[in-house]
Structure 1
Amino acid sequence: MDICDGKKRRKVSGGVRGCRRSVAGKMKREAGMILRSLKVEDNNHTEPMEEEEEEEEDDDCFSISFLRSDRLEPAVVMSPRYSLLREVGRGSYGVVYEAIARKTGARLAVKRLQCDAPENVELALAEFWALTSLENRHQNVVQLEECVLQRNGLAQKMSHGNKRSKQYLGLVEMSLKGERILGYPAEPCYLWFVMEFCEGGDLNQYILSRRPDRQTNRSFMRQMTSAVAFLHKNNIVHRDLKPDNILISQKSGSPVLKVADFGLSKVCAGLNSRNSEEYPAAGAGSKDSNQNNMGNINKFWLSSACGSDFYMAPEVWEGHYTAKADIFALGIIIWAMIERITFIDAESKRELLGTYVRQGTDIVPVGEALLENPKMVLHIPQKARSSMSEGVKKLLQDMLAVNPQDRPDAFQLEVRMDQVTCAS
């Protein structure tokens, strides 16, 4: 079942169209109150735990230490393996907290998704399935540490395809049927995703709070391309690439991009299985095997119009597209980043990176404009004083081709991106 995010919105504020799934982050003050503990189960264990594991069971999930408000749902409480310090972001179906691992002191991000309706369950399971399907890590894809399913005072560590967990199977059934299943209790149900914390914010915040820097742009272009190539090699189409969903980690001293938010992603099942030795690192694997995998994923057709308006390819608006839609979205992001093209989001009022086409006093997403006028010529670069090289210009034109067959696949893009960024 394809995952989509409802109907396309047409909210206009000051002549600017609104983006779908925009996130207005709300910061909450710390309150230092540790809440009572709930019983924790690990649905991966069918036999009694060893003594060492039993000692850890009382220190296995979350404690919450922020100030409650009317906007927060009833407090979710589990035995404290992680302490939630503050709220750092809130979307239409989930909340993200900064957290700390109580044993190691490591900073983490914890995303809580409420599974109270089939559409929310679909989004939560899509993210879970995408992140758990990755057999290897990639430095430019956000890392999932663990996922916990919590309902009715019981927390279970999630494992993909676990047939022993009635709660997990109930969520899957609800997602597949598209309706609340008969007899399923109405108590709040949550999925908690524990992930690496990215202290540098998202790509919008990072780029727009600093002076233009060509070296940073080149590095980010290579990193984003490498991440998308890795996902496509692993049969995952992201379907919602945008600056909001690209986070920045600065733990190594230099900024490292992390593609995140896989709620609209699609794991293209049925393609050739991956060999775990084939993709040990970014760009690894033989040329032939990579090309074969790219060819397979680009033959997998999707039909739900998903994503955010300003980054959607023409064919996504029509609802018949492949992984090449991710290449188009990446082209929009890179173009906007290099030339610092922005718009004001109608819902959050934030300034966001995004390229568009002007039609009178209105601005129109590039993909929608190309769908209406396939012969339209995109003026790349837009700004007269742009420092964009001819190589980058030609690559962006190819990435934004109206016909998906004229765009490079992710493997070809990775090779060409290395060439143009080294030459510029």
Structure 2
Amino acid sequence: MDTGDGRGRRRSVRTCRRAGARGAKMKREVGKVLGTLSVENTEDKQVPMEEGDDEEEEEEEANCLYTNLFRSDTTRRKTAGAAAATAATAAPRYSLLREVGRGSYGVVYEAVARGSGARVAVKKLRCDAPENVELALAEFWALASLEKRHENVVQLEECVLQRNGLAQKMSHGDKRSKQYLRLVETSLKGERVLGYPEEPCYLWFVMEFCEGGDLNQFILSRQPDPRTNKSFMLQLTSAVAFLHKNNIVHRDLKPDNILISEKSGVPVLKVADFGLSKVCAGLGGLGKEGDDKNVNVNKFWLSSACGSDFYMAPEVWEGHYTAKADIFALGIIIWAMLERITFIDAESKRELLGTYVRQGTEIVPVGEALLENPKMILHIPQRRRSSMSDGIRQLLQDMLAVNPQDRPDAFELEIRMDQVTCAA
């Protein structure tokens, strides 16, 4: 192992590989019930659009989200004139303030809800490619399936499908919506079924805004703080236990996908970015008697090798794994956070939290190195002068076990983490 900053960085690829095909970097984010869009631009400041969105109408639609109508295509045709007049005078429900992030598949904005003044995050995702639709639906299904909120899981507020100037509320499993069914068909068939390319289709996701950035930014911009580390470890394990209890395997846990909210005056972690997640409910787990929803998520096997290299468990590289892969990723994150182990991302050139193994001039993800050499011993902690307690050290060793059966599940982990942080 090595404690350097990883400037010999080999790769950091976020993938979801199917049938042995390596590739396609995937980006995303989610929401629940927005409003409709108007072509009337009431904002003085232009909001940057996605590459290729150079039509005047699309630029205007990007600036304001309106609530004046959720209508069927039939209603829209009958009242086109009246709707246009209403759109021109309706007060915008959300005002987009600035672009805060941009990826291959969408743009994220900071916005303000006009009614409450609350800040929210809004992501616009163009759904003209099946891979975009698959990512969006995966995140939508995961967050929409949660019946309860959790403080450490990002909250989905609204999701709206926009096509041909018409906005429609997205509801989970809505078989009455032709647009929703077409999105599902697009994802399943792997080909566009929503119309011609000149008819752009978008999904707008609205969720809580996290002003503290991601875990990388927060940790690396501050001096080490044992109390913050302890709090973050407890919050992370609580979030993953909540997701697994609700039959959701995240499959892409990493510091980039852990956001920070400071609204309460103290940093609160929010696990986000569920585009590669898998909802395992109703898939034959071993639940408690009389509790049909309690699926044993660790009994469900997954086969798509998804995630980001430096956080992927050995079995994920092979494409045959369970929810225990989330535990491995969490072990990498916590280890890197405690010892501030970083590497430089080859694409973004950002310094990111993450542990690795050095092989000559290259650095190799821990999971990949363990797959190649299952008997390799991980030196935890890496630094000779470390304040890491024996309890945390042993817990990290168990979380990063080569054999997933030797790792604690999320519920055992939550209990053990509470014990070792109290003793530390």
Question: Partner of 1:31 in structure 2?
Answer: none
SS of equivalent to 1:16: coil
Contact 1:132 1:160 in 2 (8 A): yes
Any gaps of 5 or more consecutive residues in structure 2? 1-5, 16-24, 28-32, 67-91
Question: Partner of 1:332 in structure 2?
Answer: 332
Contact 1:247 1:259 in 2 (8 A): yes
The 10-residue stretch of structure 1 (383-392 or 135-144) with the greater mean CA deviation from structure 2: 383-392
**What one-letter code is carried by the residue in structure 2 that aligns with 1:211?**
Q
**What one-letter code is carried by the residue in structure 1 that aligns with 2:8?**
G
SS of equivalent to 1:411: helix
Question: Partner of 1:18 in structure 2?
Answer: 11
> Cα distance 1:274–1:400, how it changes in 2: closer, same or farther (>3 A)?
closer
> Cα distance 1:224–1:94, how it changes in 2: closer, same or farther (>3 A)?
same
The 10-residue stretch of structure 1 (157-166 or 231-240) with the greater mean CA deviation from structure 2: 157-166
> Cα distance 1:319–1:82, how it changes in 2: closer, same or farther (>3 A)?
same
**What one-letter code is carried by the residue in structure 1 that aligns with 2:53?**
E
> Cα distance 1:21–1:289, how it changes in 2: closer, same or farther (>3 A)?
farther
> Cα distance 1:62–1:235, how it changes in 2: closer, same or farther (>3 A)?
farther
SS of equivalent to 1:336: helix
Alpha-carbon shift at residue 73 of structure 1 (Å): 2.3
Within a 5 Å distance, the mapping from 1:159-238 to structure 2 comes to 159-181=171-193, 184-186=195-197, 187-238=199-250
Within a 5 Å distance, the mapping from 1:120-159 to structure 2 comes to 120-159=132-171
Alpha-carbon shift at residue 57 of structure 1 (Å): 7.8
Q: Does 1:263 align with 2:275?
A: yes
Contact 1:238 1:266 in 2 (8 A): yes
> Cα distance 1:63–1:263, how it changes in 2: closer, same or farther (>3 A)?
farther
Q: Percent identity?
A: 77
Contact 2:36 2:167 in 1 (8 A): no
User: How well do the aligned residues superpose, as a CA RMSD in angstroms?
Assistant: 2.9
> Cα distance 1:221–1:143, how it changes in 2: closer, same or farther (>3 A)?
same
Contact 2:50 2:106 in 1 (8 A): no
Number of matched pairs:
369
Contact 1:140 1:227 in 2 (8 A): yes
SS of equivalent to 2:305: coil
- Summarize deviations over 1:143-164 as a string: whole Å, max 9, x none: 0011011111011111011122
**What one-letter code is carried by the residue in structure 2 that aligns with 1:305?**
A
SS of equivalent to 1:104: coil
- Summarize deviations over 1:383-422 as a string: whole Å, max 9, x none: 1112110000000000000000000000000000000011
TM-score (norm 1): 0.81
Question: Partner of 1:114 in structure 2?
Answer: 126
Alpha-carbon shift at residue 423 of structure 1 (Å): 0.5
Question: Partner of 2:73 in structure 1?
Answer: none
Q: Distance in 1 between matches of 2:228 and 2:178?
A: 48
> Cα distance 1:195–1:63, how it changes in 2: closer, same or farther (>3 A)?
farther
SS of equivalent to 2:306: coil
Q: Distance in 2 between matches of 1:293 and 1:21?
A: 30
Q: Distance in 2 between matches of 1:289 and 1:397?
A: 36
Contact 2:285 2:297 in 1 (8 A): no
> Cα distance 1:172–1:382, how it changes in 2: closer, same or farther (>3 A)?
same
Question: Partner of 2:299 in structure 1?
Answer: 299
- Summarize deviations over 1:56-86 as a string: whole Å, max 9, x none: 9899x99774344684624244422101100
- Summarize deviations over 1:313-359 as a string: whole Å, max 9, x none: 00000000000000000000000000000000000000000000011
Alpha-carbon shift at residue 240 of structure 1 (Å): 0.3
Which of 25, 44, 53 lines up with 1:73 in the alignment?
Answer: 53
> Cα distance 1:66–1:20, how it changes in 2: closer, same or farther (>3 A)?
farther
Q: Distance in 2 between matches of 1:230 and 1:211?
A: 30
**What one-letter code is carried by the residue in structure 2 that aligns with 1:168?**
Y
> Cα distance 1:379–1:58, how it changes in 2: closer, same or farther (>3 A)?
closer
> Cα distance 1:313–1:84, how it changes in 2: closer, same or farther (>3 A)?
same
> Cα distance 1:405–1:273, how it changes in 2: closer, same or farther (>3 A)?
closer
Q: Distance in 1 between matches of 2:42 and 2:310?
A: 38
> Cα distance 1:92–1:289, how it changes in 2: closer, same or farther (>3 A)?
farther
Alpha-carbon shift at residue 14 of structure 1 (Å): 5.4
Within a 5 Å distance, the mapping from 1:40-59 to structure 2 comes to none
Question: Partner of 1:308 in structure 2?
Answer: 308
> Cα distance 1:63–1:96, how it changes in 2: closer, same or farther (>3 A)?
farther
TM-score (norm 2): 0.81
Question: Partner of 1:6 in structure 2?
Answer: none
Contact 2:36 2:166 in 1 (8 A): no
**What one-letter code is carried by the residue in structure 2 that aligns with 1:318?**
E
Q: Distance in 2 between matches of 1:337 and 1:270?
A: 35
Contact 1:66 1:84 in 2 (8 A): no
Question: Partner of 2:423 in structure 1?
Answer: 423
Question: Partner of 1:94 in structure 2?
Answer: 106
> Cα distance 1:57–1:240, how it changes in 2: closer, same or farther (>3 A)?
closer
SS of equivalent to 2:149: coil
Alpha-carbon shift at residue 289 of structure 1 (Å): 9.7
**What one-letter code is carried by the residue in structure 2 that aligns with 1:149?**
L
SS of equivalent to 1:393: helix
- Summarize deviations over 1:192-218 as a string: whole Å, max 9, x none: 110000000000000000000000000
Q: Distance in 1 between matches of 2:50 and 2:130?
A: 25
Alpha-carbon shift at residue 103 of structure 1 (Å): 1.2
**What one-letter code is carried by the residue in structure 2 that aligns with 1:324?**
K
Contact 1:63 1:82 in 2 (8 A): no
Question: Partner of 2:356 in structure 1?
Answer: 356
Q: Distance in 2 between matches of 1:417 and 1:201?
A: 25
Q: Distance in 1 between matches of 2:290 and 2:228?
A: 31
